[in-house]
Amino acid sequence: MDTELHREWVNGLRSGDQKAFTAIYKAYWYQMFQVVYRKTNEREVAEEIVQEIFTRLWKERSTLLITHLDRYLFTAVRYEVIDYLRSKTKTTALDDFFGELTEYRGTDTENTILYNDLKESIHRGLQELPMKSRDIFVKSRFEYWSVADISKHYQLSEKAVEYHLTKALKHMRFYLSEHIIIYLSALYLASVLL
């Protein structure tokens, strides 16, 4: 498309011109939709992601630094699709973790009580962490994000992410130490007695 036209649209968008926004929407909506749909194979999801990008474009119009409109929009599409696919594959990472624990808890009442106590203790321990440390810990330990990905996501240095992880790990180790020992002892006894 014409670069001069794009500049006019972007300048109009920044100043709140709804006609410029509508022109951008009409020019790009379907192309963006096709890209998202090809990656997700879900029409509603594709529509929602594209709509969210345009909503954010309008809301943040005065602060956006857009030099190439098409690159900006399709980069937004790429990141939204990545976030969606990541969340879809890891939506219940914590539940998956507990699901794996379930395999080891056995069927007797004592193990069930110990398992439920451990699960509750993990939740309580996580709730005691500051929100950012808790989120970083969950992303690292349950959703398997790398330190680099976490630092990009939260716009923190890798050292800051490592600080939050160290702080969270120390807290969780201390918080869970008693429960882990009891739970592992019970598992060991159950395996010996079976």
Please report the DSSP string for 80-136 in residue order.
HHHHHHHHHHSTTHHHHHHHHHHHHH-SSHHHHHHHHHHHHHHHHHHHHS-HHHHHH
- Domain identity same for 28 and 45: yes
What is the average pLDDT across 142-163?
Answer: 88
193 contacts: CB under 8 Å, gap ≥ 6 = none
pLDDT at residue number 100: 53
- Domain identity same for 18 and 56: yes
Q: Locate tokens 């008693």: which residue?
A: 178
Domain end among 89, 113, 139? 89
Confidence grade of residue 29 (pLDDT, cut at 50, 70, 90): very high
- Domain identity same for 133 and 152: yes
- Domain identity same for 16 and 62: yes
- Domain harbouring 107, CATH code: 1.10.10.10
pLDDT at residue number 36: 92
Domain end among 89, 106, 133? 89
pLDDT at residue number 14: 87
What is the average pLDDT across 179-183?
Answer: 65
Give the C-alpha separation, 20 to 163, whole Å. 45
pLDDT at residue number 174: 81
- Domain identity same for 98 and 71: no
Cβ atoms of 11 and 65 closer than 8 Å: no
Confidence grade of residue 106 (pLDDT, cut at 50, 70, 90): low
Cβ atoms of 106 and 183 closer than 8 Å: no
Q: What is the pTM of this model?
A: 0.48
Query: The domain containing residue 23 runs over which residues?
Result: 3-89
In the chain, the percentage of residues whose pLDDT exceeds 90 is 14
Chain mean pLDDT for the chain: 80
Domain end among 89, 122, 144? 89
In the chain, the percentage of residues whose pLDDT exceeds 70 is 75
- Domain identity same for 97 and 85: no
How many Å from the N-terminal Cα to the C-terminal Cα in the chain?
72
pLDDT digits 0-9 by tens, 67-84: 888 888 988 898 888 877
What is the average pLDDT across 150-169?
Answer: 88
- Domain identity same for 119 and 143: yes
Supply 185's token pair.
């002892």
- Domain harbouring 77, CATH code: 1.10.1740.10
